Amino acid sequence: MSFIDNYEIIVIGGGHSGTEAAYASAKLGMSTLLLTISLDSIGLMPCNPSIGGPAKSHLVFEIDALGGLMGKIADRTSIQKRILNKSKGPAVYALRAQINRFLYSREIIKELENLDNLDIVQGEAKNILIDDKGEITGVHLTNDLNYGGKSIILATGTYLSSKVIIGDMVKESGPNELSNSKYLANSLHKLGIMTHSFKTGTPPRIHKGSLNLKELEVQHGDSKDYTFNFEEILGNLPQVDCYLTHTTEKTKEIINNNIEKSPLYSGIITGVGPRYCPSIEDKVVRFPEKLSHHLFIEPEGHDVEEIYLQGFSTSLPGEVQIKMVKSIKGLEAAKVMKLGYAIEYEVINATELKLTLESKKVPNLYFAGQINGTSGYEEAAAQGLIAGINAVLKLKKQKPLILARSNSYIGVLIDDLVTKGTEEPYRMFTSRAEYRLLLRQSNADRRLTKIGYDIGLISQERFEHFQNKIGIIDKEVSRMKDLTIDSSDEAVSQLISKSKSSPLDQNIKAAALIKRPEISYQDIISIYPPEETISSRQSEEVELLIKYEGYIKKQINQVENFSKGEKKLIPKWLSDYKLIKSLTGEAIEKLNKVKPMSIGQASRISGITPADIQVLLIYLEQVKRQEKKDV
Amino acid sequence: MLKEYTIANIITPLIECGIGIIRISGIQSFEIIDKLFQAYNSAFKQKESHKAYLGVLHNSNGDKLDEALVLLMKGPHSFTGEDTVEIHCHGNPFILKETLKEIIKLGAKKSEAGEFTRRAFLNGKLDLTQSEAILDTIKANNQKALSLSLNQLEGSLKNKIGLLKEDLINIIAYLEASIDFPDDEIEESYTNDVINSRIDKLLDEINKLLNSYSQGKIIKDGVMTVLIGRPNVGKSSLLNSLLNEERAIITHLPGTTRDAIEEQINIGDLILNIVDTAGFRETEDLIEKIGIKKTYNYIDKAQLILFLVDARQGLTSDDYIMIEHLKKIDKKFLIVINKVDLIKKTKLEDINNSIYISAKDGTGLEELKSTIKDLFIKDEIEEYYISNLRYYESLVKSKDSLDIFKESLETGIVPTDLLSIDLKDAYIALATITGDDFTEDLLDNIFSKFCIGK
């Protein structure tokens, strides 16, 4: 077999996962091929034109802290930014950016086209090539070309054997009329990796000129200068508004009258859809008492008339969709440019993977993004980055990168997928993270940038800048702890009375004052300024570290407890849990499937009970004692 | 890999009593008993399972140790799931210890605490909650404790905890949904007042369960009771008449009982663990002084103090000091006025908490027993008892977290994401009892309740 070219790493798929994987791989010096079905759709955002939001923004901050792409490209192409959850606490502040999706894709392509070590080729992968030793040799394309590669990262998104469904129309297709990946699923099956269907959907797109803006509630941005990227490089696109509206009783009536035409209810769709992202017909059926549902109107670009109708995902027939759209407040004369649709696609069970995202069955075959059962650009990008890094580290024979639940949302994401698998498209929520207060978007760099630097994705210059920034924050926190404020201090007394705080009856540390809800760190430095100037993001972090010190300590203690389980490694010889007679058949099956690395991971496998863990612990302890006696 | 070795130990208390039992478990069990024991019936050689054989135990020198009954149980049909031998000898600590020594000489290891149960557990004979409940059943000294253990086996407690968890997760789901879905319409049905009153209800329920622990524990383990009084007021006589046997040395010399003696007696459903103490009075005798110091230590640990007084002497100044002490440390106590058979009329003015008895002729003993019972056993048997320390500790953790949550909520300034830390802790503490997954429970709750979705 002859190869057109030979690469170290081949990435199949040019979406948010594949591009991060290819970027990391090439950046780290590996000769890399990015194979995509369409060159023009690299970095495509086929669903909502936004990046971030609770937990998702946390992922983007983490990607940036590790040296990935998504954060800085989103900043460059954002057309509105808001901080969500401002009143709900420091752990869950979340940046959300509306994106010019055309420019986003363009900017990603530019980044990749100019990258050393990376080739980009348009083509559809047909077979993963494996030699008689079971080692990956490359990929065979539908156009009969072969490319050689030592590792393959599969990031097929929603394209694997996908079908688009509108009403009773079912069409073999990827999203947005792009062609799908028809053969690769079969190649996986031959390797013993099984797939099943998931489903998701998207709403109709409408011409902005046809909206009655007077009837809609405007939603402005509020945080133009807040960036995902830690270098705080701002974008320069004009900022635009979003709008809020809602469905009416007429919408509900139309849906109810046509519900039997929905492919969801007629039985055409069999894949499992996400509960948090239901179609509008699903919402009407499941919550019949609700007369109306909120909708968000989001621009797809600052210079684009096409708008996105968030909250109105549907797969009802086109005619019904158009009637439904016109029943929405302010959309009576709306012109539908693209219909909404449901899409079914094939995914693997992520419990087939190691925590590095490498297949347990086929060495050097990695899986990332929606093929692992997730949904969302951010979740996909995070996995792509980690799969890319790990593919490189393995070829370089270095220690893999496995992030912990206690240091990142990425760690939570991958641990959840690999340990528990997912029954529905998996989306990140802040409530999935046990140690949320420690996993703030604001400290993602403190958590991960050293790791990114050690791997080689963070430049020396950026790393020094980061160290400097952390240094200033830490110095200010300890300055506030040491600084004693005299009870007779006039400036402070004025501040206190102005803030309606209780007067000082004795000397007090500045940190103790900042812990009062009505006093801020900014107040204190207006009287006692720091030696070095401090940026607003740094000063927010100082304030937070002081004000929430007690809660932070509490979570650190919880992490220490958690880490005990993570550090209790399960010895490699224990590969068949049938050895442990007292485990239930169910527990044996699950443990054999996941093959957890540690007791901690074992305890998170769904269906594994505390009693099973006790059995496992006692068993391992008996073995250990016996080994001691035998020595 | 786990290697099998054979363990043995004496499994009945090391006191003189009718029968003492030694258990051997593991692959060598039958081999060991063959060398140690000669059955009268030659069928013993066939080692038929679940049969009892009478015969003679002897040591390696051939000296007879005891006549004993030996039970053979082939694995997996035994408590541990392994080949098991039980030797029923006479309940003489010396014989039992000597026999065990021989067994160990023959290759068994002395079992560690709980090792038989651990093996049963590892061999799939018991699951964890079952093994906890079975340990309780083994220890159950009376009818009520037994039904309590059975209750736990049936999982009624878990159902109760399940209900508490559901209440709690409803509140968490509301807070979390508002964080994870800021664009969605989360009905504002939970004001801080509503949350507060729901948490109060939950705390009530948890407190009830926690209180049931002391009740459950009393039923299971009994009441630590201390018998005190001046020398020679008849403490030992009372103890003996409650026990119906002579155990403590009784003389008429004051201060005879120098060491505390511990006895267990049943009053109906209630177990009293009674300690008879040296009498207290000002003394120069060193040994007696030590005894008196011990008395105070026992009082500290006691749940019930029976304060014995001689009806003929009435209350002395020493007694009043002691009564004041008891009141101060807030313990349950009864003043038991003994020797009423020796006086014509009561010389004493009415004293609170007092009962007139005669340990000698039995007068008032029934009244004493029923008064003690009333002090500790509630008439109404609560549906759920916590008698397991692990559950108790989990509930305490949950309660502590809820208390902190309430404090934080009341300040009105702690943001939602921090408030939920304590609520989640409270939930997870409950979930360790039932073994459920927090995140899955939470998301199920959110999606079933709120119409969420982009």
Number of domains making up chain B: 3
Contact A459, A484 (CB under 8 A): no
**pLDDT given for residue B244 in this prediction:** 64
Residue where a domain stops, chosen among B376, B407, B426 = B376
User: pLDDT grade, residue A111 (50/70/90)?
Assistant: very high
pLDDT over 60 at A311, yes or no? yes
- Give CA–CA dist B251/B209, Å, rounded: 47
A517, B82, B312 from B412: Cα distances, Å: 10, 61, 65
Secondary structure (3-state) at B56: strand
In a domain, B150, yes or no: no
Q: How far is A609 from chain B (nearest CA, A)?
A: 6
- Give CA–CA dist A338/A331, Å, rounded: 15
Highest mean pLDDT among A261-275, A292-306, B302-316, B368-382: A292-306
Q: What is the pLDDT of residues B355-365, one digit of tens each?
A: 888 888 888 88
Say which residue the tokens 């983490």 belong to: A62
> Hey, what CATH topology would domain A568-630 get?
DNA polymerase; domain 1 (1.10.150)
Statement to judge: residues B91 and B162 lie in one domain:
no
Residue of chain A with shortest Cα separation from B176: A431
**pLDDT given for residue B209 in this prediction:** 85
**pLDDT given for residue B392 in this prediction:** 82
B40 DSSP 8-state letter? S
pLDDT over 90 at A10, yes or no? yes
Say which residue the tokens 């420091």 belong to: A90
Statement to judge: residues B228 and B310 lie in one domain:
yes
B279-283's contacts with Cβ under 8 Å and 24+ in sequence apart are B279/B228, B279/B229, B279/B230, B279/B231, B279/B232, B279/B233, B279/B235, B279/B254, B279/B255, B280/B228, B280/B229, B280/B230, B280/B318, B280/B322, B281/B230, B281/B231, B281/B254, B281/B255, B281/B318, B282/B318, B283/B255
- Give CA–CA dist B133/B153, Å, rounded: 6
**pLDDT given for residue A491 in this prediction:** 93
Cβ–Cβ below 8 Å for B451 and A580: no
Q: Give percent of chain A above pLDDT 90.
A: 83
Q: From the DSSP assignment, how many helices (H) and strands (E) are in chain A?
A: 21, 22
Please state the φ and ψ torsions of residue B9, each to the nearest 5 degrees: -170, 165
Cβ–Cβ below 8 Å for B124 and A430: no
Cβ–Cβ below 8 Å for B179 and A622: no
The pair of structure tokens assigned to A525 is 């430095």
- Asked if B389 reaches chain A (Cβ–Cβ under 8 Å), the answer is no
User: pLDDT grade, residue A380 (50/70/90)?
Assistant: very high
- Asked if A555 reaches chain B (Cβ–Cβ under 8 Å), the answer is yes
- Give CA–CA dist A48/A205, Å, rounded: 10
Statement to judge: residues B329 and B255 lie in one domain:
yes
Statement to judge: residues B205 and B228 lie in one domain:
no
Both ends of chain B: CA-CA distance in Å? 53
ipTM: 0.84
pLDDT over 70 at B152, yes or no? no
- Region of A127 please: left (phi>0), alpha (psi -120 to 50) or beta: beta
Residue A530: asked if its preceding bond is cis (omega within 30°), the reply is no
- Region of A81 please: left (phi>0), alpha (psi -120 to 50) or beta: beta
Statement to judge: residues B11 and B116 lie in one domain:
yes
What is the distance of C-alpha A552 from the center of its chain?
24
pLDDT greater at residue B154 or residue A578: A578
Q: What CATH number has the domain bearing residue B231?
A: 3.40.50.300
With beta carbons under 8 A apart, name residues in chain A contacting B121: 582, 615, 618
With beta carbons under 8 A apart, name residues in chain A contacting B123: 581-582
Contact B278, B256 (CB under 8 A): no
**pLDDT given for residue A548 in this prediction:** 93
Please, what sign has the CA dihedral across residues A5, A6, A9, A12? positive
- Give CA–CA dist A613/A602, Å, rounded: 7
Statement to judge: residues B370 and B397 lie in one domain:
no
Q: Give percent of chain B above pLDDT 70.
A: 74
pLDDT over 70 at B69, yes or no? yes
B389-411 and B192-221 helices, crossing angle to 10°: 160
pLDDT over 80 at A180, yes or no? yes
In a domain, B292, yes or no: yes
Closest CA to A309 of A288, A330, A290: A330
The amino acid at residue A554 is K
B342 DSSP 8-state letter? G
- Asked if A200 reaches chain B (Cβ–Cβ under 8 Å), the answer is no
The CATH code of the domain at A472-554 is 1.10.10.1800
Statement to judge: residues B64 and B112 lie in one domain:
yes
pLDDT greater at residue A113 or residue B268: A113
Q: How far is A215 from chain B (nearest CA, A)?
A: 19
B156-180 and B416-434 helices, crossing angle to 10°: 160
Residue of chain B with shortest Cα separation from A310: B454
Could you tell me which residues come within 8 angstroms of residue A139 by beta carbon, excluding any fewer than 6 positions away? A10, A12, A35, A125, A126, A127, A128, A129, A146, A147, A149, A152
pLDDT over 90 at B221, yes or no? no
**pLDDT given for residue A145 in this prediction:** 97
Q: What is the pLDDT of residues A131-173, one digit of tens each?
A: 999 999 999 999 999 999 999 999 999 999 999 999 999 999 9
With beta carbons under 8 A apart, name residues in chain B contacting A606: 437, 440
Q: What CATH number has the domain bearing residue B20?
A: 3.30.1360.120
Cβ–Cβ below 8 Å for A554 and B421: yes
**pLDDT given for residue A624 in this prediction:** 75
Looking only at Cα atoms, what is the longest distance across chain A? Answer: 86
- Asked if A548 reaches chain B (Cβ–Cβ under 8 Å), the answer is yes
Q: Give percent of chain A above pLDDT 70.
A: 99
Question: How confident is the model over B8-19, as a mean pLDDT?
Answer: 80
Q: How far is A89 from chain B (nearest CA, A)?
A: 5
Mutation test of the interface with chain A: which of B418, B422, B428, B438, choosing the one with the most A Cβ atoms within 10 A?
B418
Q: Partners of A118 in the beta sheet?
A: A32
Say which residue the tokens 């109105």 belong to: A312
Q: Counting Cβ atoms within 10 Å, is residue B330 exposed (0-12), middle (13-18) or buried (19+)?
A: exposed
What is the distance of C-alpha A526 from the center of its chain?
39
> What ranges do the domains of chain A cover?
205-344, 472-554, 568-630
A 431-470: CB under 8 A from B: 431-432, 434, 436-437
Statement to judge: residues B356 and B408 lie in one domain:
no
Q: Of A562-566, B155-159, B346-350, which range is least confident?
A: B346-350
In a domain, B139, yes or no: no
- Asked if A286 reaches chain B (Cβ–Cβ under 8 Å), the answer is yes
Question: How confident is the model over A393-406, as a mean pLDDT?
Answer: 97
- Give CA–CA dist B403/B425, Å, rounded: 11
- CATH number for A205-344 (one of 3.90.1110.10, 2.40.30.260, 3.40.50.150, 1.10.3720.10): it is 2.40.30.260
pLDDT over 80 at B214, yes or no? no
pLDDT greater at residue A369 or residue B139: A369
B50 DSSP 8-state letter? T
Q: What is the pLDDT of residues B230-269, one digit of tens each?
A: 878 888 788 878 776 444 334 344 444 444 556 777 777 6
- Asked if B413 reaches chain A (Cβ–Cβ under 8 Å), the answer is yes
CB atoms closer than 10 angstroms to residue B269: 16
The pair of structure tokens assigned to B379 is 């008439």
Statement to judge: residues B230 and B302 lie in one domain:
yes
**pLDDT given for residue B2 in this prediction:** 47
With beta carbons under 8 A apart, name residues in chain A contacting B125: 582
Q: Partners of B309 in the beta sheet?
A: B337
With beta carbons under 8 A apart, name residues in chain B contacting A555: 421
Q: What is the pLDDT of residues B97-125, one digit of tens each?
A: 889 989 988 888 888 766 787 777 667 66
Structural domain including B317 reads 222-376
- Asked if B193 reaches chain A (Cβ–Cβ under 8 Å), the answer is no
Query: DSSP readout, A446-511?
Result: HHHHHHHHHHT-S-HHHHHHHHHHHHHHHHHHHHHHHPEEPTT-HHHHHHHHHTTPPPPSS-EEHH
- Give CA–CA dist A398/A408, Å, rounded: 21
Q: What is the pLDDT of residues A215-260, one digit of tens each?
A: 999 999 999 999 999 999 999 999 999 999 999 999 999 999 999 9
User: pLDDT grade, residue B287 (50/70/90)?
Assistant: low
pLDDT over 70 at A609, yes or no? yes
CA atoms within 13 A on the CB side of B28: 16
Q: What is the pLDDT of residues B297-338, one digit of tens each?
A: 888 888 899 988 888 887 777 788 888 888 888 788 888 888
Cβ–Cβ below 8 Å for B451 and A287: yes
B270-276 and B304-310 strand pairing: unpaired
Name the residue among A55, A87, A604 with its Cβ closest to that of B180.
A55
Statement to judge: residues B171 and B304 lie in one domain:
no
CB pairs under 8 A between A and B: 130
pLDDT greater at residue B86 or residue B378: B86
- Give CA–CA dist B109/B107, Å, rounded: 7
Say which residue the tokens 């997760």 belong to: B169
Question: How confident is the model over A179-193, as a mean pLDDT?
Answer: 96
- Give CA–CA dist A8/A293, Å, rounded: 50
Question: How confident is the model over A168-195, as a mean pLDDT?
Answer: 95
pLDDT over 80 at B54, yes or no? yes
Cβ–Cβ below 8 Å for A276 and B451: no
Please state the φ and ψ torsions of residue A246, each to the nearest 5 degrees: -150, 160
Cβ–Cβ below 8 Å for A90 and B417: yes
Q: How far is B454 from chain A (nearest CA, A)?
A: 4
- Give CA–CA dist A471/A538, Å, rounded: 10
- Give CA–CA dist B66/B96, Å, rounded: 9
Q: From the DSSP assignment, how many helices (H) and strands (E) are in chain B?
A: 14, 13
CA atoms within 13 A on the CB side of B111: 20
- Give CA–CA dist A449/A403, Å, rounded: 12
The pair of structure tokens assigned to A43 is 């970095």
E strand intervals along B130-285: 223-229, 261-267, 270-276
pLDDT over 80 at A611, yes or no? no
pLDDT over 60 at B283, yes or no? no
Q: How far is A415 from chain B (nearest CA, A)?
A: 13
Statement to judge: residues B59 and B173 lie in one domain:
no
The pair of structure tokens assigned to B197 is 């009153």
Q: How far is A194 from chain B (nearest CA, A)?
A: 25
Q: How far is B418 from chain A (nearest CA, A)?
A: 7
Could you tell me which residues come within 8 angstroms of residue B450 by beta carbon, excluding any fewer than 6 positions away? B173, B177, B181, B184, B185, B186, B187
Name the residue among A55, A582, A604 with its Cβ closest to that of B121.
A582
Q: What is the pLDDT of residues A464-521, one digit of tens each?
A: 999 999 999 999 999 999 999 999 999 999 999 998 888 998 999 999 999 998 999 9
Query: DSSP readout, A45-75?
Result: --S-SEEE-TTHHHHHHHHHHHT-SHHHHHH
- Give CA–CA dist A409/A46, Å, rounded: 24
B192-221 and B143-153 helices, crossing angle to 10°: 130
- Asked if B113 reaches chain A (Cβ–Cβ under 8 Å), the answer is no
Q: What is the pLDDT of residues A49-81, one digit of tens each?
A: 999 999 999 999 999 999 999 999 999 999 999
The pair of structure tokens assigned to A613 is 């863990």
**pLDDT given for residue B281 in this prediction:** 54
Statement to judge: residues B239 and B344 lie in one domain:
yes
Buried b / exposed e over B286-304, threshold 16 CB at 10 Å, is: eebeebbebbeebbeebbb
Q: How far is A619 from chain B (nearest CA, A)?
A: 7
